[in-house]
Homo-oligomer: A and B are copies of this chain.
């Protein structure tokens, strides 16, 4: 099944309407059933486990969508009658949790799979039908237009990156995207910031120079970089004090772009500001995923799958209609993208390439598109002016 992102030509991203709830299958359905959670962080047996697809729950005869949609959550009806998707660990004893296992509305819960998973009307012998392959074309032009449109309408694109991005070249490109307003929030780990700050202070990453050589004594440089920031007290303080004068973290701080650095067991240091508690880190990430209107996941299996788990496959638009949440996953190997899809993030569009080359070309296409729009708009202004005479 090709994702809408790859096949869309007329509009950039597919939009969908809500089901017609006046249809008999919906009018005949019962209200969803709710049972009180037996203990803090424990759901009632038979609880409904959410997906990332548009989900409608019948409450008092009305079909409603829950707030904060994501997969692997529970449906909780709060005291004020508001319906939420909540992580199991956030459910408290006595919270009303929806039960039921069918997704066709017959137990009062309807998951709209058609719009998103579609029908793969196969039945014909074809070549090149795999979903994820380095042999598939990559439409940088489309991705550039998506990003510029997001910026234009005040969208909230979240970028999720692994440390490979920072090894030399892509650091400048990532910085450029931040400085030019294309990043709603950056979700990453300690290592991304460590490499970036080592580069800012010492010009190396893990002791490797920009031309790829391991330097003598270089194995300690990332620790020295971390130590300086710890001495300063925070990344923000290190920027203010002129310890960090360029790069990704510098751009985030100076342009007030929010970021989350989630802790992991691999972390050296860690840097101040890293959220070492992974549940607190998930909460911090959720703060951004619920606002996301686009997601770009680059060179990280851990963070990509974590974010994919938290993201709905759709965005509700101002007019109440739904559109696909454009999700781009970049990795050197098909496996990471397939794994992300195998964990339910079916809407992900896979780009199989080196993360650094991806960033470089994407930036180039964004710059070109901006120039073209500017030229076109200048021309139309000229025409408008001429027409006004």
Q: Give the B-binding residues of A (Cβ under 8 A).
A: 1-2, 6-7, 9, 38-39, 41-43, 45, 47-49, 51-53, 71-72, 88-89, 101, 103, 111, 113-114, 117-120, 122-139, 164, 167-169, 206-208, 210-220, 222-224, 226-227, 230-231, 262-270, 276-279, 281-282, 285, 301-303, 305-306, 309, 332-335, 338-339, 341-344, 346, 352-354, 356-358, 360-361, 364
Give the residues in chain B near A6, CB-CB below 8 Å. Answer: 211-213
Give the residues in chain B near A132, CB-CB below 8 Å. Answer: 338
Further 6 A-B residue pairs, CB within 8 A, beyond A128-B342, A332-B333? A2-B212, A88-B268, A135-B342, A276-B279, A278-B278, A332-B353
Are B164 and A135 closer than 8 Å at their CB atoms?
Answer: yes
Return the chain B residue nearest A120 by Cβ. Answer: B120
Q: Which listed residue (B123, B223, B227, B276) contacts A277, Cβ 8 A?
A: B276
Give the residues in chain B near A262, CB-CB below 8 Å. Answer: 265
Q: Tell me the bound Cα distance from A279 to B190 in angstroms.
A: 12
Q: State how many copies of this chain the complex holds.
A: 4
User: Contacts A124-B113, A213-B2, A276-B278: A342 and B130 contacting too (C-beta < 8 A)?
Assistant: yes
Give the residues in chain B near A305, CB-CB below 8 Å. Answer: 266
Are A219 and B126 closer than 8 Å at their CB atoms?
Answer: yes
13 chain-A/chain-B pairs, Cβ below 8 angstroms: A42-B231, A47-B224, A49-B224, A88-B269, A103-B125, A130-B131, A133-B338, A134-B354, A138-B356, A266-B302, A270-B279, A276-B279, A332-B353
Return the chain B residue nearest A232 by Cβ. Answer: B42
A337 CB to closest chain B CB, in angstroms? Answer: 9
